[in-house]
Every structure is written in C-alpha cells, then in structure tokens.
Structure 1
Amino acid sequence: MEHGTTRSSTGTNVVHTGSVFGAPCWVSLTSRDLDTTQRFYSAVLGWRWRTARLGDRFLTALADGIPVAGVAGMATVWHMPVAWTPYFAVADADETVARVRERGGTVAVGPLSFAPGRAALLADRDGAIFGVWQGRLVTEWEAWRQAAPVFVTLHTRDAFDAAIFYGEILGWASGRSGCCEVEYEGEEVVLRSQGSVVARIESGAVDTAPDRSLRPHWQVHFVVADVPGCARAAREHGGDVLAESEHEAALRDPDGALFMVSSSRDH
C-alpha cells in the first residue's frame, strides 16, 4: 500500500492516494471516436493532448500542460457506454473492491495493475458507475483540482443511503488522517476533503427511468470561466446543450457523454 508523499529518485514529491483517500482524484471518458473527442473538448474546454502509456487508443487531456483527464477510445471494443467516470483515491484497491461486493455493489473491471498503481471500475447498489485508484496520483491532487478544476455530483435514489454505502467503502468520516468529511445540508450530502467541497450527493434519481440521465449516476462538472462560451462551442462542434443558465450548462459531446460546465463549485 502507498500512503502520503514520498520523494522520487529525481528529488520531486510523489503523492499517493493514501494522502487524500476517499476523495475524487481523476476522471476518465470512454469514447468511440478519439479524433472527434479531441476536437470537441479542445474547442469547449481548451484542452491539449498527449498519448497515454497504455497505447494509441488512450489519451491524456492537458490543461495548461497539467494532466487532468484520461480518454479511452474503447467504448465499442469494451462494449461500454460512452460516459464520464470519476475515480476516487483509495489506500488499498483490493480491500475496497471486497467492501463493494460485501455491501451489494458490482465489480465491473479489476483491480488491474498499471505502472503507477491499481484501478477498478465499480457500480454502487443503484447502478451508478465509479472507479477507484490506488497508488501514485497522475497529477498531484491540489494541482489537478486547480487545473481542471473538477467537481462531481452523485444523482441517486436516496442520498443518505448512498452516503452510507460510499462512506463504508471509501473510509469517509472514519477519523483517519486525510479522510473526507461528510456534512448534511438539508436533502443533500456534501463531501469535503482538506476543507474543500469535492462532491455532492443528491436524491431523486429513478432506477427505471427511460432517460439514462435521470437514472442514478455520477456527473462530472468542469468549472469554467465562460459557461455561455462553452455551450456555444459545444453546439458548433457537434455536441448538444441539454440545459443552460448563466452559471451552469448541461452538455453532451458528439459521442453522447454527458457532463456539466459551471462557473463555480458552489452550485
């Protein structure tokens, strides 16, 4: 298991998931067409790209040169839906996967070992897809959140039941150093890490809704300076704007992946 911060052979700090366990630490997108995906997100979010270590079908998105998201052009090969998925930092992927099984969740993939750590793709009891990551962070946590920046929201059947499920598997409010704190604000559950709000859980999703955007799911938000500009760019590059206000817009990329752009994390 990896914990906290160590120093690499070059003398730079290497941050591991144990230092921010339970918090979102990465987001990834499954795509059908990498070329279209690159053009769309370059126009909407200003990202640049590099090939990831896993091969030509995998890309890393860069914001101001900092890695902020992964894209896998494998939706057709893996028979997976096109979607954005958040990954949560864990100290031990195997232990977390065992907890998911014990508590009625589903293990879709993994844990699999990669050069810097281990990952698993999972679903909670209501079918919302999420991932976990153990090991060296792709980007140091604070740098990642400032560069992306990213916020995630779980739309689920029962926010309080979901908070118990995720709290038990991810160690929220466990009292351990570095763990996330859970707060209840009316009908909403708020997750904080190192004093910052990093996720929210909201009730109201319907398990059998014909529209998958209304079923339980994790939604990735990107905080941007110009929400109307992002919405306009999405339309111009083959995407859709599902809802739009001055401070927030629900967008769909050309492959069908849903995501949000917001002017603030405090939405």
Structure 2
Amino acid sequence: MARDLASAQEFYGAVLGWEFRPTRLGEQFSVAMYEGVPVAGIGALALRLGVPVAWTPYFAVDDADVTAARIRERGATTAVGPLAFGTGRAALAADPDGAVFGFWQGEVIPDWTLRGDGAAAWIELRTRDAFAAAVFYGEVLDWACERPGCCDVSYEQGHVIVRRGHDTVARISGGAVEAAPDPEVRPRWHVHFSVLDLEKAVETATGSGGAAVSPVQSSATSRSITLRDPDGALFTVVSPNT
C-alpha cells in the first residue's frame, strides 16, 4: 500500500530493478516485474483506506466473508473490508499478536504468486509463539486440510514451514516481543526481495530517500538487511553469500 504510485515505482524500480505493468484492478494498481516474473503489487490506496504505507502479504481464499468470520471468532481483527476491488474482494486483518495480513477472494492475476521457480520474494512471520500462530493461520486459511491444493505445515529446526506442493511459501518464527518499540522486533510479516548486490541496493535506497534500519545479517548461504522506503514501508533485501 503506497501513497503515490509513481513515486513508489521510481524508488523500487531503482533499488530492485523492477519494471511495472498495469492491472485490471484500475489505474492505481501495478504489478512489479523482475526478468519477466511478477513479484509484487503496488496499490496507491494508503490515504484512501487510512492505513500506513506498508508491504503486506495477501492470501487467496474461497470466501472472504467466511475468512473474516473465522478471524473474529479467534480473537483477531478485520480492519478493512472485505471490499470489492476489480476482479475480486480484499480485506486487511491483524492476527491475535498484531501482525497485519491481507486476504483476497476472486480471480488471481495470472502467475502473480510466490513460486519456487524464480520468484524473487518470500515471506516470514516473526511472532511471539510460532506454534500458536500456525494454528491460527491454519484454521483461518485452511492450511493442512484434507482437500487437494491445501498448504502443508511442518515444524523444522525451530520454525514452522508452510509449503504448497514442493514450494516453500512462508516461514513462521517465534520470539517477537509485542511491546517492543522497534518494529523489527514486534510481531509482523517480513517481506524479502532478492538482489544480486546487497551494498548496491542499500546505496541506491539511501540515495533515493530510504534508510537502512538493521545491520547486515549473514548466514551460510545469504546476507540480508532491512530497509525503509521514503514513506516508511519496511522490506528486506537478500543476496547470495558468495
């Protein structure tokens, strides 16, 4: 959710090398493309809906009203919607620990999904209790159900892993602190985008009005850092550790 579509496109195009195409959702929406693969969407709706500028994962559902009812039944909040948008209906919600997510009922833009064959993004929920969060999202979104096409959920090395078929689509990690002043520490969904050169991405972001808000984190396979765009949206860039 952005305030100004053109400004957001200019920033993310420079930092992440994205190109943009219009969608059937209207002139205030665009799909970000990286090497021909749809990787994200930007909608200039933050002011209209009265919500902060932020990156938010959206989950496809069969019935938005049923999903909203499940969320409320489990002590969580539906903040916006479900509202009609273009080819479907969308809503924003917050889980019991305050992490914001969206859900979508209707026609999905072709190929606009997180995939294992070249998708440049992945999502991670950092929350207070990973197991409790997995139960909540499983019940709300029909994860680990018996129907074909449902996501599988497993617990691996201290994290909850969500897979659809052979593709890992999300990870849930525990240990976040609800009252922490730092938004990096509070429960929230973290959206990660791949870059080839981490230092170049940071330099471009800071030179374009953004800021680095975390130190560089390194693992055996990758390096990452969390950035803030000029309007305050947090996102993480990840590069291979060579």
Query: Which residue of 1 is the match for residue 14 of structure 2?
Result: 43
> Quick one: which amino acid aligns to residue 117 of structure 1?
G
Residue 55 of structure 2 corresponds to residue 84 of structure 1: yes
2:216 pairs, out of 244, 255, 258, with: 244
Query: Which residue of 2 is the match for residue 167 of structure 1?
Result: 138
- CA distance, structure 2, for counterparts of residue 172 and residue 48 of structure 1: 33
Query: Which residue of 2 is the match for residue 24 of structure 1?
Result: none
Superposed CA RMSD in Å reads 2.3
> Highest relative contact order (Cα 8 Å, sep 6+), 1 or 2?
1
Hey, which bits of structure 1, 4+ residues long, moved more than 6 A? none
Query: Which residue of 1 is the match for residue 87 of structure 2?
Result: 116
Residue by residue, what CA displacement relative to the aligned partner does 1:142-193 show, whole Å, maximum 9, x if unpaired? Answer: 6866454221000111111100000101111112211111111233111111
- CA distance, structure 1, for counterparts of residue 110 and residue 207 of structure 2: 31
* Distance change >3 Å, CA 143–CA 83, structure 1 → 2: closer
Q: CA deviation at 1:139?
A: 2.9
Segments of 5+ residues of structure 1 without an aligned counterpart are 1-29
Please say which of residues 32-41 and 211-220 is displaced more in the overlay.
32-41
> Quick one: which amino acid aligns to residue 89 of structure 1?
A
Equivalence map 1:1-267=2 (5 Å): 30-140=1-111, 146=117, 148-242=119-213, 243-245=215-217, 247-263=223-239
Residue by residue, what CA displacement relative to the aligned partner does 1:117-147 show, whole Å, maximum 9, x if unpaired? Answer: 2222111111111011122211325686645
Equivalent residues of 1:181, 1:191 under 8 A apart: yes
* Distance change >3 Å, CA 75–CA 143, structure 1 → 2: closer
What TM-score, normalized by structure 1, do the two folds share?
Answer: 0.80
- CA distance, structure 1, for counterparts of residue 162 and residue 9 of structure 2: 31
Residue by residue, what CA displacement relative to the aligned partner does 1:66-108 show, whole Å, maximum 9, x if unpaired? Answer: 4432222232333211110000121222211111111111111
Equivalent residues of 1:36, 1:254 under 8 A apart: no
Equivalent residues of 2:34, 2:120 under 8 A apart: no
- CA distance, structure 2, for counterparts of residue 116 and residue 244 of structure 1: 40
Please say which of residues 44-53 and 137-146 is displaced more in the overlay.
137-146
Equivalent residues of 1:60, 1:68 under 8 A apart: yes
- CA distance, structure 2, for counterparts of residue 76 and residue 245 of structure 1: 33
